[in-house]
Amino acid sequence: MAGTQVSDEVAIDDIDQSLINLLREDGRMAFTDMAKQLSIPESTVRYRVQRLLQADVIQIHARLNPKKFAMPHIVTMRFNVERSHIDAVAEALAQLSEVQFVAIVTGHYNIIMDACFGTHEDLLRLFETIHAIPGIIHYDSCTALKLLKSEYQYTVG
């Protein structure tokens, strides 16, 4: 799992970009709609979109609006890790299912992580799991009290 960074990059041309932008607004837009808007045949749209999906350049799925729920608990943690363990720790964290975001970063802390879960028991379990990962020198965590925005929609172009 996880690992190789900006490895398998893909060439995205203007058409792909337009398709992506349309699908970013409405993931269920009909192929024929997109075709009309871009003045290209529907079969081409279908071919391109399928290719983008297959190559895992995009995924199309429903996202829950966390504001419409008893908000799940969201926690951010920052880790200071022994240099030689950075990758291993980051990968270990990334494999935990409650973990939503992991990155290796500049600065005093080496790794940042966001996680979200339903109950405090889950959080406790998360801490226990983290304590079992070797190489972590120090970490701190803080809990979200109010979520203002949570999009995580990377743009292209």
Cα–Cα dist 143/147, whole Å: 10
Say which entry of DNA, a copy of itself, none residue 40 contacts (CB below 5 to 8 A, set by partner kind). Answer: DNA
Q: For residue 4, which of 128, 62, 66, 90 has the smallest C-alpha distance?
A: 90
Task: Count interface residues toward DNA (CB under 7 A).
Answer: 14
State yes or no: residue 152 binds a copy of itself (CB under 8 A): yes
Cα–Cα dist 37/53, whole Å: 20
Nearest approach, Cβ of 54 to DNA (angstroms)?
A: 10
Find tokens 């005093």 and name the residue: 108
Q: Is the dihedral of CA 83, 86, 88, 93 positive or negative?
A: positive
List 48, 93, 102, 123, residue binding DNA (CB under 7 A): 48
Tokens at 121, concatenated:
């028991």
Nearest approach, Cβ of 41 to a copy of itself (angstroms)?
A: 19
Question: Of the two residues 68 and 83, which places its CB atom closer to DNA in the complex?
Answer: 68
Find tokens 């494999």 and name the residue: 95
Say which entry of DNA, a copy of itself, none residue 44 contacts (CB below 5 to 8 A, set by partner kind). Answer: DNA
Cα–Cα dist 104/107, whole Å: 10
- Consecutive H or E run containing 78: strand 73-81
Nearest approach, Cβ of 34 to DNA (angstroms)?
A: 8
Find tokens 């391109």 and name the residue: 48
Range in contact with DNA (rule: CB under 7 A) among 1-9, 37-45, 80-88, 115-123: 37-45
Contact residues: a copy of itself, CB under 8 A: 2, 5-10, 12, 20, 23-28, 55-72, 74, 76, 90-91, 93-94, 99-107, 109, 112, 114, 116, 118, 140, 142-156
Contact residues: DNA, CB under 7 A: 15, 30-33, 40-44, 46-48, 51
